[in-house]
């Protein structure tokens, strides 16, 4: 029975010493107080917000440039398509008017027989 009391006594002393050591370690290794931590979090949040605003602004400028370039290219493509369509219509008119004038069944590529 003496051993049992002695083991309990050692446990209690170990528990107290461990608790005190843990509390001291927490105090010595604690990074910052709550007030300091909140201030740092607020500062980091403000920095992140400013970075996000700057990123958004730069992205918006780049997007506008890309959109303007796409509009310019689309306009050029439309003009080129209109030009080619006008040329094709003119060729079709020339071909149709040429065939009507020569009559049916004649071919320009054939040489007259001598």
User: Going by C-beta distance under 8 Å and a sequence separation of 6 or more, which residues neighbour residue 37?
Assistant: 31
- pLDDT at residue 66, as a whole number: 95
Alpha-carbon gap, residue 114 to 108, rounded angstroms: 16
Q: How confident is the model at residue 73, as a pLDDT?
A: 97
Domain total for the chain?
1
Would you say residue 21 lies in a domain? no
Is residue 103 in a domain?
Answer: no
The whole-number pLDDT of residue 5 equals: 64
For residue 52, give its domain range: 35-98
Domain assignment of residue 87, yes or no: yes
Alpha helical stretches, state H, the chain = 2-29, 34-102
User: Would you give per-residue pLDDT tens digits along the chain (114 residues)?
Assistant: 556 667 777 888 888 888 888 877 776 677 767 788 678 878 888 888 898 899 999 999 999 999 999 999 999 999 999 999 999 999 999 999 887 655 544 455 455 554
Residue 41 inside a domain? The answer is yes
3-state secondary structure of 42: helix
DSSP secondary structure letter of residue 113: P
Q: Is residue 13 part of a domain?
A: no
The whole-model pTM stands at: 0.44
Q: 113: alpha, beta or left, given left = phi > 0 and alpha = psi -120 to 50?
A: beta
Q: Which pair of structure tokens corresponds to residue 97?
A: 């008017």
- Asked, for residue 30, whether it belongs to a domain, the answer is no
6 is a domain residue:
no
Is 68 domain-assigned? yes
């Amino acid at each position: 029975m003496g051993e049992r009391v002695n083991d309990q006594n050692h446990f209690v002393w170990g528990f107290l010493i461990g608790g005190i050591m843990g509390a001291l370690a927490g105090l010595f290794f604690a990074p910052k107080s709550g007030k300091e931590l909140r201030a740092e979090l607020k500062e980091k949040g403000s920095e992140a917000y400013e970075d996000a605003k700057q990123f958004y602004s730069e992205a918006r400028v780049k997007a506008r440039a890309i959109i303007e370039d796409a509009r310019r290219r689309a306009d050029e493509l439309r003009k080129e398509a209109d030009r080619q369509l006008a040329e094709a219509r003119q060729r079709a008119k020339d071909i149709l008017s040429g065939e009507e004038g020569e009559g049916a069944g004649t071919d320009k590529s054939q040489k007259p027989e001598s």
